[in-house]
A and B are shown apart, each in its own frame.
Chain A
């Protein structure tokens, strides 16, 4: 069975983002970029399915300009078999991303598409669910366990209050939560080998989809700063302040 893994290039999660002085957007110039952490978990899960003899081929895909080839090579080094870059210089809404992925799903006919539950830049948490809607597939979002069993996949989901397990007909969409797995590090030989794995570039315009924007970013501002308060010397003082100054306990 084929597994498709869409991935996104985002700011490295250790880097604190800055807002541009003109408030037009965040400033990503000269910023360290990386594969979105949830997408990395998706790649790892697909590779583990292949190692377990369940998946036969793992295809990584990314939508963006040439720079996202770097993250596709990372996915190949982690164990994906081949990669597709859908080339565009535009920043696309999740719906348009999902529409492009839908076309690739139609071409490749994967049994499973594994995506990160959200990207750490736009924090939308939409693409997997939207792709599921467009392809008519069931969805197992925020997955912490994925088990393929015959014609179905059982997905245990991290939900408010605990865990929920669903059985989904294949083909299906899965989005990853943090505890699904711990991604491996790519070894040097695998990084070298990844350079020779196939990576196909296809212009977004070739898919014949209206990609006009559905949302307009009006401004981006820094969050309100919280001021540091006071250091109290004793528990007595703390309790006194919470009672009489902050008035949050009685």
Chain B
């Protein structure tokens, strides 16, 4: 069997989540090819050839792929599809955007957000915000799949794949990029961090999120937030952890002033170790936390920072 994995990247670096998507491809089993679609993305290609278990890296380096517009990327992938039984992308906002378009153009269903592989046609995925786990069999000959990376281990990066440059340029010409407003941060991405510290409504305002900075610096952590904190306007939405935000599974997740609504738990309950700091002993977050401390966060945070 042949598997095509579409690389998640920003034209300058290969996102670590791709290594887990390749991990999912290895679990399906077969000859794995990567596709890098971007513009001036040689650094990504250099990283892609080192991904373990990959035989080939297809490269489509052209201005029409710079922003990975779904209209253009889906045409590219569809044109390559005949060589592969499985097409995989990471379930991040880029993959979630273009993959269903690929599936529909190929006239097949998509299996979204898989967290496990049972066989080459049967996959496990969360439904109802993770409150139920479905095992789904694809009846199509071709499988189009997005991978939730919290379910798979990253592959190593000491491989040596062959690079194949693609000459085809697929420009649908119906959409264009206007601008990006990206949050600039020195901290790791939420999706890649091994430690995350998140604040909730208990933080009271955006200014107080600075109390998390010192701890995050000491632990090399990413900073997240609950939807309640985002809705209250404390912090931007790209910090949101939860069913409607990022799904994360770090080694250590510290929830500060977060009550533990179902929709937040759906985004972090696969973390290895969960710590909850909350002054309400009845908060549901304590039911999933490995270590809880009932305390006022304004006392607990400075003390924790000083003792790390």
Interface of A with B (CB < 8 Å)?
Answer: 11, 16-17, 19, 26, 93-95, 98, 120-134, 136-139, 141-142, 144, 154, 157-169, 177-179, 213-223, 226, 228-236, 238-239, 241-242, 246, 248-249
Contact of B178 among A11, A26, A166 (CB under 8 A): A166
Q: Interface centre among A133, A168, A179, A220, by most B CB within 10 Å?
A: A133
Contact B109 A214 (CB under 8 A): yes
B66 to chain A, nearest CB (A): 12
Binary contact readout B127-171 vs A (1 if CB under 8 angstroms, 0 otherwise): 111111111111110000000000000000000000000000000
Q: Find the B residue at minimum CB distance from A123.
A: B127
Please, could you name 28 A-B residue pairs with CB atoms under 8 Å apart, sorted by A?
A120-B243, A123-B125, A125-B112, A126-B103, A129-B70, A129-B97, A129-B101, A160-B246, A163-B180, A166-B69, A166-B178, A167-B175, A214-B108, A214-B140, A215-B137, A215-B139, A218-B122, A220-B127, A221-B135, A223-B132, A228-B289, A230-B292, A231-B292, A238-B304, A239-B308, A246-B291, A248-B252, A249-B195
Whole-angstrom CA separation of A216 from B133 in the bound complex: 14
Q: Interface centre among A26, A139, A168, by most B CB within 10 Å?
A: A139
Contact A159 B104 (CB under 8 A): no
Contact of A221 among B132, B236, B237, B303 (CB under 8 A): B132
Q: Given A94-B100, A95-B103, A226-B269, answer yes or no on A11-B128 (Cβ-Cβ < 8 Å).
A: yes
Which of the candidate stretches B18-26, B57-65, B88-96, B202-210 sits at the interface with the other chain? B88-96
Say whether chain B's binding surface is mostly helix, strand, loop, or mixed. mixed
Whole-angstrom CA separation of A154 from B109 in the bound complex: 29
Residue B300, interface by CB 8 Å: yes
| Residues in chain B near residue A223, CB distance under 8 A | 126, 130-133, 269
| Residues in chain A near residue B275, CB distance under 8 A | 238, 242
B229 to chain A, nearest CB (A): 13
Interface of B with A (CB < 8 Å)?
Answer: 10, 67, 69-71, 74, 92-94, 96-105, 107-113, 122, 125-140, 172, 174-183, 189, 191, 195, 219, 227, 236-238, 243-244, 246, 251-252, 262, 269, 272-275, 281, 286-295, 300, 303-304, 307-308
Contact of A95 among B107, B135, B136 (CB under 8 A): B107
Whole-angstrom CA separation of A154 from B176 in the bound complex: 10
B217 to chain A, nearest CB (A): 13
Q: Given A138-B71, A235-B293, A242-B273, answer yes or no on A228-B112 (Cβ-Cβ < 8 Å).
A: no
Contact A217 B128 (CB under 8 A): no
Contact A133 B122 (CB under 8 A): no
Q: Given A94-B110, A160-B94, A160-B238, answer yes or no on A238-B291 (Cβ-Cβ < 8 Å).
A: yes
| Residues in chain B near residue A166, CB distance under 8 A | 67, 69, 175-178
Q: Interface centre among A177, A233, A246, by most B CB within 10 Å?
A: A246
B156 to chain A, nearest CB (A): 22
| Residues in chain B near residue A19, CB distance under 8 A | 132
Contact A162 B195 (CB under 8 A): no
Contact B289 A235 (CB under 8 A): no
Q: Find the B residue at minimum CB distance from A162.
A: B182
| Residues in chain A near residue B243, CB distance under 8 A | 120, 123
B181 to chain A, nearest CB (A): 4
Q: Find the A residue at minimum CB distance from B139.
A: A214
Whole-angstrom CA separation of A122 from B132 in the bound complex: 10
Contact of A215 among B138, B182, B300 (CB under 8 A): B138
Contact A242 B291 (CB under 8 A): yes
Contact B288 A161 (CB under 8 A): no
